[in-house]
Amino acid sequence: MERPAFWNGLRSTLALIFATLLCGCNDRSRSARDAAEEMGRMLSDQRIVEAYGETALAFRFRRSESYFEARVRDLGLCDARAVKWGGPERSGRLATVRGIFTLKDDSRLALNFVFSTEDGAWRLIEARSIPAADGGVAEDVFAVAARTKDTRGTENNIGIRAMEIVEPSAITIPAEPQLRQLAEDTLMRFNEAIQNGGDFSTLYAAASDRWKYRGRDPKELARDIAYSGSDPERRAKQDPFNNDNRLTLAALNNAFAATVAAQVDLSPIKGKRMLLSEPARVNSDGVLNLNGTFDAIVFQATAPGRARRVEFKLEYVSEQSRWKLFGLTVNILGEEKPSRPKP
C-alpha cells in the first residue's frame, strides 16, 4: 500500500526541521575567539550587564550581576585601551582564549578566558590569571572568594567574625546626601586631629575593626597602642610605617605629620557641595570607594593667603549596620586662583 504524497512531503519537512534544530544546537559558525572578542567589546563599551548575560548558566549561578560588575571594574577591564586575543585552544567541549588587555594606566593584564558550549553558543565559564614565569597560581579572577588580606591570622583572632566579604550584592550604596555626610564627618575628624596637634584618637576610634585589627588579637593590639616607652621591639609593634597594612595611631601620625605641621584647616568644607571624581561604588571586597573634593577653599597657617583645596580618597566597610572608615588618603592641593580678590 502506497503512502499518500502529502505524507511523504510532511515527513521530509519534519526531517528538515529536526535537522535544522539539531544543527542549531551545535552551531560552530561563531568561534570561541569570536565570543571572546565580543565579550571584550561589551566590557570596553561599559555594557557590563549585557556581558554578564553572555556568561554560562553555571557562571551566573555562582556570581551575581553586581559582583561581576564589581570585579570587572576592579580589574580595569571596562577601561581597557586595547585587547589582543590569541587563537582558541580546544579541550573537549572547552575552549581557552588568551586576551592581553592594555589597561588605562598602560599596564598589561593577561587572562585566559575559558568558554564552554551552551545553547548553541560559546559562553564564558571562568577567566584565569597567567602565573609568573618564576611560579605562582592561576587564579580564577571572577571566583567569589574572600579576597581581603585582613582576615588572616590564628583561630583566636576576630577574622572569624563575619569579616570576610564574599558578595557585595546585598550592599546598597548610600544616596548622595548620605555620602556627602559620610565624607564630611571623616574629614572633620581628620581636621580635629590636625588642630589638636596630631591627636588622631577620635578618627582612630571611628575606623573599622577590619582596618585596625587585620586578623590580630584586639587585646594584644590595645597594649601595643598604649605603650609609650622606648623599647624598640615594643615600639615596632606600633607599626608606624604600616608594614602590617593595618591602622595604628603611630601610622596615622607618621603618614600625616607634614599636614599637621602645615596647620591645614579643613573646616571651610563643612556644609559645602561634594564633587566626586567618579561615581561611588562598592568593589568585590565589599568596600565602598568615595573619591573627590569639596567645593570650598581651605587654608594652611604656614602659607597664609594661598588658596588650597582638599582632595580625598576614602574607603568604608559596612560593620554592625554602619559604614566605618577602611582607608584614608588626603591631599592638600594648591589653587590657581588667589584666595582673595585684589583691591
Can you list the domains of the chain with their CATH numbers? 28-129 (3.10.450.100), 169-334 (3.10.450)
**Side chain identity at residue 194, one-letter code:** I
- Lowest average pLDDT, out of 72-86, 112-126, 216-230, 315-329, goes to 216-230
Nearest one of 129, 97, 105 to 33, comparing CA atoms: 97
d(CA 243, CA 227): 18
Indicate the Cα dihedral angle 258, 263, 267, 268, nearest 10°. -100
d(CA 88, CA 139): 19
Q: Is the pLDDT of residue 184 over 90?
A: yes
d(CA 78, CA 225): 42
**Side chain identity at residue 233, one-letter code:** E
Cell of 321: 549596620
**Side chain identity at residue 246, one-letter code:** R
Q: Is the pLDDT of residue 33 over 60?
A: yes
**Side chain identity at residue 284, one-letter code:** S
3-state class percentages of the chain: helix first, strand second, coil last, to nearest 5: 35, 25, 40
At 116-137, the pLDDT tens digits run: 999 889 999 999 998 877 777 7
CA distances from 42 to 32, 88, 263 (A): 15, 19, 48
Q: Is the pLDDT of residue 245 over 50?
A: yes
Q: How many residues does the chain have?
A: 343
* Residue whose C-alpha cell reads 624598640 in the numeric block: 232
The answer to whether 209 touches 288, Cβ cutoff 8 Å, is no
For residues 3-29, average pLDDT: 46
d(CA 259, CA 130): 41
